[in-house]
């Protein structure tokens, strides 16, 4: 869930039942600007206890937090003169990216398992929808939205159906359940981190990045990061079978070194025993 505000006004944020009311209020008044929503909230009489002290700031903080719960992202950039609908459309525009020509003919074949085991990329689960598929090349980690059930198509989601379906499809790409190896690994991830990735279980999706209006560029970045990665640990060498000749050459060399060490050890022990015997 989105974090509560960390300012000193956090003590004026309403409790759970009042948050439910505020989310419902936002759902039915998406054509109100933030300024108008604050005015409507301040017009409530009698005011709830959390709204009495520093009421204008408390109303603003409460609405922003309720909006973050409703939309599953940080709403700190929601502007006073902006309606919630306009804010969501702005988020869409920020998310959508032109399909780069380099992706023509490219298929997204990477999975969360191969990213982690082969490329050594750490998966970070996030409750902020805008952080989904963000790849940090410097720290080699990939953020994934953990609440897949939120992406199910419903009229009161606050988002266009296309945006939710496409986001769910990206999770289905990364968490395929058709192959046993992926299924076992996915099960272990779910037990460890408890992400909600049920959407990926049975969804058949396109792996062509050009079919993705919102996530195309990020999918291409992830695929390229996987393809350009090289093994840096024994674990990665074990799982990396992309280049068959390199894979077998490495293990042949590794076995040869192990056999050399083993025979050297046996020879040393034999020599010591011979000395002791003499």
113-141 pLDDT, tens digit each? 999 999 999 999 999 999 999 999 999 99
Q: Are residues 118 and 192 in the same domain?
A: yes
Measured distance CA(167)–CA(233) in Å, rounded: 32
Answer yes or no: is pLDDT of 104 > 60: yes
In sequence order, the 6+-apart residues with CB closer than 8 A to the CB of 135 are 121, 141, 142, 143, 218, 221, 222, 225
Same domain membership, residue 170 and residue 63: no
Flag whether 185 is in a domain. yes
Do 128 and 13 fall within a single domain?
no
Residues 118 and 85 in one domain: no
Q: Which domain holds residue 27?
A: 8-95
Residue 66: CB partners within 8 Å, gap ≥ 6? Answer: 19, 22, 23, 25, 26
Give the best-scoring range by mean pLDDT among 5-9, 54-58, 129-133: 129-133
Residue ending a domain, among 189, 205, 228, is 228
Q: Is residue 237 part of a domain?
A: no
Mean per-residue pLDDT for 220-248? Answer: 77
Pairing mode, if any, of strands 141-145 and 122-126? parallel
- 5 — pLDDT class (breaks 50, 70, 90): very low
3-class secondary structure, 106: coil
CA quadruple 47, 52, 58, 60: dihedral sign:
positive
Of all residues in the chain, what percent carry a pLDDT higher than 90? 34
* Residues 77, 155 within the same domain: no
Whole-angstrom distance, CA of residue 23 vs CA of residue 185: 36
One domain for residues 50 and 110: no
Q: Is residue 18 part of a domain?
A: yes
pTM score, whole prediction: 0.77
**What is the C-alpha separation between 131 and 37, in angstroms, rounded?**
27
Pair (197, 214) in one structural domain: yes
Tokens matching residue 120: 């050594």
Asked whether residue 212 falls in the same domain as residue 192, the answer is yes
Same domain, 111 and 91: no
Report pLDDT digits (tens) over 178-230.
655 677 788 788 777 777 776 555 557 899 998 998 999 999 999 999 988 88
Average pLDDT of every residue of the chain: 81
85 with 113, same domain: the answer is no
Q: What pLDDT, on a 0 to 100 scale, did the predictor assign at position 43?
A: 86
C-alpha count within 13 angstroms, C-beta hemisphere, residue 245: 0
Last-in-domain residue among 95, 125, 156: 95
Q: In this structure, are 162 and 200 located in the same domain?
A: yes
Domain end marker among 75, 95, 115: 95
Question: For residue 144, what pLDDT is reported?
Answer: 95
The half-sphere exposure of 20 on its side-chain side, counting CA atoms within 13 A, is 2
Q: Note whether residue 1 is domain-resident.
A: no
Do 207 and 112 reside in the same domain of the chain? yes
In a 10 Å sphere around its CB, with 0-12 CB exposed, 13-18 middle and 19+ buried, how is residue 247 labelled? middle
Output the pLDDT for position 56. Answer: 81
């Amino acid at each position: 869930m989105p974090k509560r505000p960390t300012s000193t006004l956090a003590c004026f944020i309403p409790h759970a039942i009042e948050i439910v009311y505020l989310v419902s209020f936002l759902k039915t008044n998406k054509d109100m600007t933030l300024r108008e929503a604050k005015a409507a909230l301040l017009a409530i009489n009698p005011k709830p206890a959390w709204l009495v002290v520093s009421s204008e700031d408390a109303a603003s903080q409460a609405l922003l937090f309720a909006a973050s719960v409703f939309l599953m992202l940080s709403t700190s950039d929601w502007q006073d003169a902006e309606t919630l609908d306009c804010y969501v459309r702005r988020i869409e525009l920020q998310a959508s990216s032109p399909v780069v020509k380099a992706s023509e003919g490219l298929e997204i074949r990477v999975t969360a398992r191969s990213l982690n085991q082969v490329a050594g990329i750490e998966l970070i689960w996030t409750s902020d929808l805008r952080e989904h598929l963000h790849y940090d090349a410097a720290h080699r980690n990939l953020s994934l939205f953990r609440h897949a059930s939120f992406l199910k198509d419903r009229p009161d989601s606050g988002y266009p159906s296309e945006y939710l379906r496409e986001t769910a499809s990206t999770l289905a790409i990364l968490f395929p359940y058709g192959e046993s190896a992926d299924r076992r690994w996915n099960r272990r991830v779910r037990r460890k981190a408890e992400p909600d990735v049920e959407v990926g279980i049975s969804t058949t999706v396109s792996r062509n990045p050009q079919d993705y209006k919102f996530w195309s560029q990020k999918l291409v970045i992830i695929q390229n990061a996987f393809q350009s990665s090289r093994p840096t640990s024994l674990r990665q060498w074990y799982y990396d079978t992309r280049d068959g000749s390199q894979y077998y050459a490495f293990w042949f060399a590794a076995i040869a070194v192990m056999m050399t060490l083993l025979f050297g050890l046996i020879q040393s022990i034999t020599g010591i025993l011979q000395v002791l015997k003499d």
